[in-house]
Each structure stands twice: as C-alpha cells, then as structure tokens.
Structure 1
Amino acid sequence: MTEAQFQKQVQEFLLRQGVWYVKYWGGGQFTKAGVPDLLCCVNGRFVGIELKTEKGRVSKLQEYTLAKIKESGGQAFVLRPSGFQAFKEFIKGEVNPCNSVTAE
C-alpha cells in the first residue's frame, strides 16, 4: 500500500467520525517543513498525524515537530497501516468519550 492510498483510508475514516482535519503539505516556499500530514481537531483536542508506510522513515524535523506538539498538550502520531486499528479505537474514544464508560 502506498502512502497516498493509506492517507485516503485515514481521511475517509476521519470524515465518517465527524473529525475536522486539513491535509498539510510542507516544505514549499511558503509552507513550513516538518508539519504532520494531517492536522485534526478531535473533540476539541489538537491531533497531528504523520502518515508513513511500514517502511517509511520519519525525518528528524518531523520527530522534533511531533515532540513539540506533545509538549504543548496536543496528541501527535506517526501512523502506519499496522497501527491503524488502534488509532481508530483511539479516535472513536475521543469523539465519543462516553463509549468507554459503562452505565450502572
């Protein structure tokens, strides 16, 4: 699976969950390099998602940016196809936090 194919799956999932996101492309003359591929707002929380194939490498600048997002109180992930199911569960829990609580 290519990164573009994986990105499409992730974006479709986020749309179905009602998550606002923007696809960010960095590195051009007028944009900042190292910014995660998808910038999201999930239930009021900032989430940065760097998409990679199973063999894709994260640059030092991307690692730095993800760490800064976390230090600032946001969530940041390097998301690979092998981690997509766990990511889906995380997003579903953030979108509907009451789903993880059992009523008595």
Structure 2
Amino acid sequence: MTEAEFQKQVQEFLRRQGVWYVKYWGGGRFTKAGVPDLLCCVNGWFVGIELKTETGRVSKLQEYNLTKIQESGGQAFVLRPSGFKAFKEFIEGK
C-alpha cells in the first residue's frame, strides 16, 4: 500500500467519524516543512498525524515537530497501516 492510498483510508475514516482535519502540504514556497500530514481536532484535542508506509522514514524535522506538539499538550504520532486499528480505537474512544 502506498502512502497516498493509506492517507485516503485515514481521511475517509476521519470524515465518517465527524473529525475536523486538514491535510497539510509542507515544504512549499509559502508553507512550513516538517509539519505532520494531518492536523486534527479530536474531542477537543489537537492531534498531529504523520502518515508513513510500513517502511517509510520519519525525517529529523518531522520528529522535532511531533515532539514539539506533544510538549505543547497536543497528541502527535506517526501512523502506519499496521497501527490503523489501534488508531481507530483511539479516535472512537475505546
């Protein structure tokens, strides 16, 4: 499964759950690099999600931004297809 295919699955799940989110495209001329792929608000929590395939690597800048989100009181993590079931349970509050 490609990252784009996985991203589509995650976004569809978030839509069905009524979660507010935005897909962030970083590194462009007017955007900040290293920001997580999905920025969400889940039950009042700010959640940053970096999407990766099972073998995809997280850059140092992405790791830094995920850590800064956590230090600021938000939730932030790398989501891979193998963790999608646990992610769904987290979103559904189970």
TM-score normalised over the length of structure 1 = 0.89
**Aligned pairs, number:** 94
Letter in 2 for 1:47: V
> Which residue of structure 2 aligns with residue 70 of structure 1?
70
**CA–CA distance in structure 1, aligned partners of residues 91 and 77 of structure 2:** 12
| Residues 73-103 of structure 1, C-alpha deviations (whole Å, 9 max, x = no match) | 000010000000000000100xxxxxx5xxx
Structure 2 unaligned spans of 5+: none
Q: Aligned with 1:67: secondary structure?
A: helix
**CA–CA distance in structure 2, aligned partners of residues 65 and 77 of structure 1:** 10
- For the pair 1:5 / 2:11, whether they are aligned, the reply is no
| Residues 56-79 of structure 1, C-alpha deviations (whole Å, 9 max, x = no match) | 000000000000000000000100
> Which residue of structure 1 aligns with residue 90 of structure 2?
90
> Which residue of structure 2 aligns with residue 26 of structure 1?
26
> Which residue of structure 2 aligns with residue 55 of structure 1?
55
> Which residue of structure 1 aligns with residue 37 of structure 2?
37
TM-score normalised over the length of structure 2 = 0.98
**CA–CA distance in structure 2, aligned partners of residues 55 and 16 of structure 1:** 27
**CA–CA distance in structure 1, aligned partners of residues 77 and 14 of structure 2:** 15
> Which residue of structure 1 aligns with residue 46 of structure 2?
46
Structure 1 unaligned spans of 5+: 94-99
Q: Aligned with 1:36: secondary structure?
A: coil
**CA–CA distance in structure 1, aligned partners of residues 23 and 92 of structure 2:** 20
Q: Which 4+ stretches in 1 moved above 4 angstroms?
A: none
- State the identity %: 88
